[in-house]
Structure 1
């Protein structure tokens, strides 16, 4: 019987599970909210899913390793491997998730050459955008589309989440258009993301992974800011799990 290899990415907001075969074909893909008990959600997700080996990544990977006696891999390596599988010619990845963001440069063989990570501040992450969307009264799924309807966007000087929220509240009180504020907030996140990418990679197409890649304004502004083509996976959130599954197979 052909062997099956699974990768599970336990993120701050969602958990993804991908199962591949020996030919690297995706056999199954599942997603669930992380919730308040990530291990309970992970246990439910893998129940009934057949695999010979599983590898975990994401912020909850160490707990998963203890709970399920599984091997683990860093998000950096997992996203690099997943992006490489989807876009063989890409040599850079920007991953913006719920609680951190990462810029990764890869060698021709797909191994990580250099990376930069922001995991100490919510600014520049999905959490920042989530808080700002709520402050402006937008649903997070609509935030990017609404921001794209702005004409130019207002300048947001604060990158700290607390100060930015205060600045946004002040702009609302002055009667500024919510869409213009939203566009300015997206631009502030892009400035940080573009800086990270430029410090690790200066040419070629870039794969955009993580939940924030589903935001159309982030995609458009990042491409404009960098002057480079941004490649979007069909499901940006499962790239880490895919990479973990492929690495589970390759290290078996």
Structure 2
């Protein structure tokens, strides 16, 4: 029995394959301009007993006969996290274009959630834009910010355009770029931890999405919430993993 989960996001597509005992394949590619074509390329030549899609493009997967069923991102992330961590309490996901917080209730159910998908603030895209303003590769931003010797600068604007203007102003005034980088991270951490507090914080606290790979974000969020941050081995594929587990449930 081979099941699969496909998470078609605005920036990336994640695929997880499950053979009934373990993950046998996981892959992440850019969504690009043609998500259907790129999703089909991921699963080309593969046979699945059941495939569940999630993410922004899940309905495209259903309409184009890629998926047998679709589920919401909230359901996929909650189910994936609870499969990996049966005692998971709160999940934070920071992706390329959105951030979401999910509070887990009894039996792995979703008790509450909040999603920010209307503004780039608190997302990977915001971090990418700020890294570009500092001429730093976004993959290096976390380590770079942690090298700051002084206090972080204050980024008061969460609008990307105005925040970028603030960053450029700091640079022109000769402010240490490490402190600017730390301030950028802190502005994102402040926004997402405010979401966590509104939704509810229960341990264990699971942090997923591509931004979970950033060591500075992990540190600031852990310090702000005074809790241990649990990072899945593959934080970018948690939604796809949850979809694959839903597929198992469907045919069991």
Measured against the shorter chain, the TM-score band is: over 0.9
Deviant stretches of 4+, over 2 Å: none
Equivalent position SS for 2:37: helix
User: What is the distance in 2 between the residues matched to 1:68 and 1:60?
Assistant: 13
Maintained 8 Å contact 1:186/1:217: yes
Equivalent position SS for 1:36: coil
State TM-score, norm by structure 2.
0.96
| 2:142 is aligned with 1:149 | no
- RMSD of aligned Cα (Å): 1.1
Structure 1: gaps (5+ residues)? none
Which residue does 1:61 correspond to in 2?
A: 58
CA displacement 1:128-163 (0-9 Å, x = unmatched): 000000011100110111011113311111111111
Maintained 8 Å contact 2:89/2:201: no
| 2:237 is aligned with 1:203 | no
Q: How is 1:81-160 mapped onto 2 (pairs within 5 angstroms)? A: 81-151=79-149, 152-160=151-159
Shift of the alpha carbon at 1:37? 1.1
CA displacement 1:92-125 (0-9 Å, x = unmatched): 1000000000000011311111001101100100
Shift of the alpha carbon at 1:85? 1.4
User: What is the distance in 1 between the residues matched to 2:66 and 2:143?
Assistant: 42
Shift of the alpha carbon at 1:69? 5.3
User: What is the distance in 2 between the residues matched to 1:238 and 1:245?
Assistant: 10
CA displacement 1:197-248 (0-9 Å, x = unmatched): 1112233221001111011100000000000111001110010000001111
Structure 2: gaps (5+ residues)? none
- Count of aligned positions: 249
Maintained 8 Å contact 1:10/1:58: yes
Maintained 8 Å contact 1:203/1:228: no
Q: How is 1:138-217 mapped onto 2 (pairs within 5 angstroms)? A: 138-151=136-149, 152-217=151-216
Maintained 8 Å contact 1:91/1:106: yes
User: What is the distance in 1 between the residues matched to 2:219 and 2:208?
Assistant: 14
State TM-score, norm by structure 1.
0.96
